[in-house]
Amino acid sequence: MSATAQTAGPLTIREKVGYGLGDTASNIVFQVVINFMMIFYTDVFGISAAAVGTLMLAVRLFDAVTDPLMGGLADRTRSRWGRYRPWLLFAAIPYGALAVLAFTTPDLSENGKLIYAYVTYAALMTVYTIINIPYSALGGVITDDPRERASVQSYRFAMAMVGGAIVTALTMPLVHYFAGGVDGDIAWGYQMTLGLLSAVAVICFMVCFWTTRERVQEAPNTEKKSIAADLFQLLGNRQWLIIAGVAFFLLVLVAVRSAVTPYYVKYFLGREDLVSQFITAGMLAAVAGALLTNVLTKYMCKVRLFQLANVGVIVFHLLLYFVPANQLVLAFAAFMLANFCQMIVVPLMFSMVPDAVDYGARNGGKKNMAMAFSAHLLVIKLGLAVGGAMTGWLLAYYGYVANEEQTAEALAGIVVLVALMPVLCAVANAIIMKFYRLTSAEMRAIHRAADEAADTNTQQRTATVQGDGAPAAS
């Protein structure tokens, strides 16, 4: 088992915020993708809902190849900046540029537009892989303390939701501003809006790069393993597989609800003018949930906290399902409370990934942090792909027609997607988490054992050196 250097004391607020800005950058673009790309493709770009569903599934299946490769590559990177930080520096500008291209509407035929959408969306998701896998792995090597890891992730997702709130609050107003009004050139409005938001994202990635450090280093290991061997080792880690299952259902929840929320506000509530405000309210509630997580993990086992918050996800989505169309305030409240509970769950889930890596290392494996996060991101993208595809297909199944008054069946389908689908996903996660064993107490025991093993190895090496030097001294 590879030893790691221990961190000296808690991390500073500056570094936690700096690390969190990396997910602010990711979410400035990514929240546009999950909240507005579906409705952009159907109502602006002119692609059918069913075709968009297939597009989102097909593109993300390609990540089954790119994500593990990127994880293996990042784990093997060696530079004066570390293994993971350099990727933030060099991939930020391509990420921003491709976000603009993905929301550009060229004058093409129907088939030409579909091909363009496939190419630009696939390129954007590939660069997202290149920058987000090392960024996620960075969170596992700036500290190895379980509580600090939970704290770092709570800051990360609070900052992520700040980015999300910026996006949801400003996207449609900026689109209309650049378009010259609601009846203006909305396609041009999207393109210019993404240009502005992407520039901010690039700056945030740069700040993240300069404010973080990789402290936890894997001890030199002469054993050479292939990327495939690293992946197979990870797949033998049962606790990581449990977190992967949680990630899948959680991201199906996120993908479905995020994609259908604009439809819910526009068609079911009948308030297209409140789309940005409704989503932003959910984002602000999510920021509060992430910040509260940082406090609660100081007093409560994060596994128990996860379970309690997951119950809240179920309860408040059920409440949202029964809200009538004319109860706007109640719809806002249920949506915000559901987001609040969900954003307690999310950082806890991410903080459990490095815990599972430490668990695997205790059982004789290597600490391939980027491989763990790359495979985790692959599962996340699979959840997003399945959720996005289901949204497009089910909207078509329920009879959704873009920019028309919806039938009662279509409206009922929209409510099912925004409220009941998340309930099913959260119930699945409640069942899966019954098999997760890495409580806070268990992680403290694992780290104590690792410290003792490292001390023993150091003493043995010292004794060997002294023994080898004895004959020369005589």
- pLDDT reported for residue 331: 97
- pLDDT reported for residue 7: 45
Residues in the chain: 474
Q: What are the angstrom distances between the C-alpha of 257 and each of 5, 327, 352, 425?
A: 41, 19, 24, 11
Q: When comparing pLDDT for 63 and 202, which is higher?
A: 202
pLDDT in tens, 68-113: 788 788 888 888 888 889 999 999 999 999 999 999 988 888 889 8
- pLDDT reported for residue 474: 30
pLDDT in tens, 319-374: 999 999 999 999 999 999 999 999 999 989 988 988 888 888 777 666 677 778 77
Q: Which residues contact 208 (CB under 8 A, 6 or more apart)?
A: 18, 19, 21, 22, 25, 88, 135
Q: Which residues contact 95 (CB under 8 A, 6 or more apart)?
A: 29, 124, 127, 128, 130, 131, 198, 201, 202, 205
Q: When comparing pLDDT for 453 and 13, which is higher?
A: 13
- pLDDT reported for residue 472: 44
The domains found in the chain, sorted by start residue, are 15-215+226-438 (1.20.1250.20)
- pLDDT reported for residue 8: 47
Exposed, middle or buried by CB within 10 Å (0-12, 13-18, 19+), for 295?
exposed
